[in-house]
Amino acid sequence: LLIYPNPTKGELIIKTNLSEINFINFSVHNILGNQVFKGKTRNKISLSMVPSGFYFIELNINNQLKVFKIQKI
Protein backbone atom coordinates (compact mmCIF):
# COMPACT_ATOMS: atom_id res chain seq x y z
CA LEU A 1 0.00 0.00 0.00
CA LEU A 2 1.43 3.35 -1.07
CA ILE A 3 0.12 6.89 -0.79
CA TYR A 4 2.02 9.64 -2.64
CA PRO A 5 3.31 12.28 -3.28
CA ASN A 6 4.34 13.36 0.20
CA PRO A 7 4.53 16.31 0.53
CA THR A 8 1.65 17.08 -1.80
CA LYS A 9 0.21 20.22 -3.35
CA GLY A 10 -3.30 18.80 -3.26
CA GLU A 11 -3.90 15.39 -4.81
CA LEU A 12 -2.82 12.09 -3.29
CA ILE A 13 -2.60 8.83 -5.23
CA ILE A 14 -3.32 5.53 -3.47
CA LYS A 15 -1.71 2.37 -4.85
CA THR A 16 -2.76 -1.04 -3.62
CA ASN A 17 -2.10 -4.50 -4.95
CA LEU A 18 -5.60 -5.70 -4.05
CA SER A 19 -7.63 -6.09 -7.23
CA GLU A 20 -10.92 -6.84 -5.43
CA ILE A 21 -11.33 -3.38 -3.88
CA ASN A 22 -14.04 -1.19 -5.38
CA PHE A 23 -13.81 1.70 -2.91
CA ILE A 24 -11.55 2.69 -0.05
CA ASN A 25 -13.13 4.49 2.92
CA PHE A 26 -10.91 7.31 4.14
CA SER A 27 -10.87 10.11 6.66
CA VAL A 28 -8.57 13.11 6.95
CA HIS A 29 -7.59 14.45 10.37
CA ASN A 30 -5.64 17.58 11.27
CA ILE A 31 -2.59 17.48 13.51
CA LEU A 32 -4.85 17.91 16.58
CA GLY A 33 -6.75 14.76 15.65
CA ASN A 34 -9.94 16.52 14.55
CA GLN A 35 -11.61 15.00 11.51
CA VAL A 36 -11.54 17.46 8.61
CA PHE A 37 -13.52 15.35 6.13
CA LYS A 38 -14.15 11.78 5.04
CA GLY A 39 -15.27 9.92 1.96
CA LYS A 40 -14.79 7.00 -0.41
CA THR A 41 -12.35 6.73 -3.28
CA ARG A 42 -10.94 4.27 -5.76
CA ASN A 43 -7.42 5.68 -5.87
CA LYS A 44 -7.24 9.46 -5.24
CA ILE A 45 -7.82 11.92 -2.39
CA SER A 46 -7.94 15.66 -3.00
CA LEU A 47 -6.65 17.93 -0.25
CA SER A 48 -7.28 21.07 -2.30
CA MET A 49 -9.88 22.38 0.16
CA VAL A 50 -7.65 22.26 3.25
CA PRO A 51 -4.89 24.73 4.17
CA SER A 52 -1.21 23.83 4.14
CA GLY A 53 -0.02 21.76 7.08
CA PHE A 54 0.26 18.21 8.37
CA TYR A 55 -2.62 15.74 8.19
CA PHE A 56 -3.27 12.12 9.08
CA ILE A 57 -4.96 10.08 6.37
CA GLU A 58 -6.82 7.01 7.65
CA LEU A 59 -7.52 4.35 5.04
CA ASN A 60 -9.90 1.49 5.81
CA ILE A 61 -9.14 -1.38 3.43
CA ASN A 62 -10.77 -4.77 4.01
CA ASN A 63 -11.48 -3.79 7.65
CA GLN A 64 -7.82 -2.95 8.24
CA LEU A 65 -6.98 0.60 9.28
CA LYS A 66 -3.81 2.20 7.89
CA VAL A 67 -2.71 5.70 8.90
CA PHE A 68 -0.33 7.95 6.96
CA LYS A 69 1.10 11.33 7.96
CA ILE A 70 0.97 13.70 4.97
CA GLN A 71 2.22 17.24 4.49
CA LYS A 72 0.24 19.58 2.27
CA ILE A 73 2.32 22.44 0.89
Q: Is 64 left (phi over 0), alpha (psi -120 to 50) or beta?
A: beta
The alpha carbon of 50 is separated from its chain's Cα centroid by a whole number of angstroms, namely 13
Q: What is the CA radius of gyration of the chain?
A: 11
How confident is the model over 14-72, as pLDDT tens digits? 998 877 777 899 999 999 999 999 999 999 999 999 999 999 999 998 888 999 999 99
Q: Tell me the pTM.
A: 0.91
- d(CA 51, CA 63) in angstroms, rounded, equals 29
**Are the beta carbons of 28 and 56 closer than 8 angstroms?**
yes
